[in-house]
């Protein structure tokens, strides 16, 4: 089935390196700081609501997230939040941006086993500067032929990517942890896709059912893609 594959696209966040747990850490610190005004679960729900409202304006990434954290803090404290707490929240965001890149198990081995046999590309969304810096810190940059940082991962963006790299859908395999962003859009275009689930998934990325499709596989860890490829 996969004998036509020429290009493999890898998602980055929570596929190659740890990401969502860092957002959860920031959210827990936000909940603690806002605990005088609202209980934790409710504060998280308010934060998620703000994020979804801001998504069309801010897009994805840590900076967008922190702006939503600040907006939510002001709202749920009825503007009583102190400048000192605002400062702390800004600092927590900066710390999240500067966290070291923690590669997931088997990432280097898998990429090294595939480079040279396929054209490897990185396909991610979020903040351009942040993603570029993470890639540099990851030590993986030299393994990728092309890096695509999209504002969103919908069919339209994947179609543009395929045109740009001049590859037919059946020659492209996408690998990632999000069914919504990494799997469903490429499958809809006729590409192949492999889902590598991560233990935490952001609420926004959750979908109800996993696809059943002849060009779709699920594996437990990244290394398990190797036996699936010719
Ligand atoms: Mg991801």
**Single residue among 97, 119, 141 that ends a domain in this structure:** 97
β-strands 192-195, 119-125 pairing: unpaired
Find the mean pLDDT for residues 1-19. 94
Residues 109 and 180 in one domain: yes
In a domain, 135, yes or no: yes
Distance 186 CA to ligand 1 centre (A): 14
Range of the domain at 82: 20-97
| Residues paired with residue 194 on neighbouring β-strands, in sequence order | 175, 217
Residues 81 and 185 in one domain: no
* pLDDT score, position 208: 72
* pLDDT score, position 213: 82
CATH number at residue 127: 3.40.50.1000
Phi-psi region of 81 (alpha: psi -120 to 50; beta: other; left: phi over 0): beta
In a domain, 184, yes or no: yes
Distance 139 CA to ligand 1 centre (A): 18
pLDDT for residue 211 is more than 90 = no
Residues 77 and 189 in one domain: no
Distance CA 93, CA 26 (A): 7
* Average pLDDT value for the chain: 94
Q: What is the dihedral of CA 225, 16, 174, 218, to 10 degrees?
A: 50
Residues 221 and 118 in one domain: yes
Residues 79 and 122 in one domain: no
Residues 12 and 24 in one domain: no
State residue 141 phi and psi, 5-degree precision.
-50, -40
pLDDT for residue 127 is more than 90 = no
* pLDDT score, position 128: 87
Total of domains in the chain: 2
Distance CA 136, CA 131 (A): 9
**Residue 143, token pair as written in the block:** 């393994």
* 43-86 tens-digit pLDDT: 999 999 999 999 999 998 999 999 999 999 999 999 999 999 99
**Single residue among 97, 114, 134 that ends a domain in this structure:** 97
| Residues paired with residue 120 on neighbouring β-strands, in sequence order | 8
Residues 192 and 210 in one domain: yes
Distance CA 214, CA 106 (A): 26
Residues 112 and 201 in one domain: yes
Distance 75 CA to ligand 1 centre (A): 30
Alpha helices in 151-218 (DSSP H): 155-165, 184-188
Residues 132 and 112 in one domain: yes
Residues 148 and 42 in one domain: no
Distance 12 CA to ligand 1 centre (A): 6
Residues 61 and 133 in one domain: no
pLDDT for residue 197 is more than 80 = yes
Residues 146 and 40 in one domain: no
Contacts with 79 (C-beta within 8 Å, 6 or more apart), sequence order: none
Distance 79 CA to ligand 1 centre (A): 34
Strand order across the beta sheet in which 192-195 lies: 146-150, 119-125, 7-10, 172-176, 192-195, 216-218
**Single residue among 50, 70, 97 that ends a domain in this structure:** 97
The count of other CB atoms within 10 Å of the CB of residue 32 is 11
Percent of the residues in the chain that have a pLDDT greater than 90, as a whole number: 87
């Amino acid at each position: 089935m996969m004998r036509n594959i020429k290009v493999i696209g890898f998602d980055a966040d929570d596929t190659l390196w740890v990401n969502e747990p860092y957002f959860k850490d920031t959210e827990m610190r936000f909940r603690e700081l806002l605990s005088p005004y609202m209980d934790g679960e409710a504060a998280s729900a308010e934060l998620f609501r703000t994020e979804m409202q801001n998504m069309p304006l801010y897009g994805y990434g840590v900076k967008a997230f922190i702006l939503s954290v600040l907006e939510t803090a002001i709202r749920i404290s009825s503007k009583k939040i102190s400048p000192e707490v605002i400062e702390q929240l800004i600092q927590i965001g900066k710390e999240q941006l500067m966290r070291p890149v923690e590669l997931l198990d088997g990432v280097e081995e898998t990429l090294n086993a595939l480079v040279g046999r396929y054209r490897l590309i990185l396909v991610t969304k979020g903040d351009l500067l942040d993603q570029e810096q993470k890639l540099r810190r990851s030590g993986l940059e030299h393994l990728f032929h092309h890096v695509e940082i999209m504002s969103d991962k919908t069919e339209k963006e994947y179609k543009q990517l395929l045109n740009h790299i001049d590859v037919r859908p059946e020659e492209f395999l996408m690998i990632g942890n999000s069914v919504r962003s990494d799997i469903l859009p490429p499958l809809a275009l006729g590409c192949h896709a492999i889902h590598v689930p991560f233990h935490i998934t952001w609420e926004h990325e959750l979908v109800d059912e996993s696809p059943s499709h002849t060009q779709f596989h699920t594996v437990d860890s990244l290394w398990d893609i190797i036996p699936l490829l010719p």
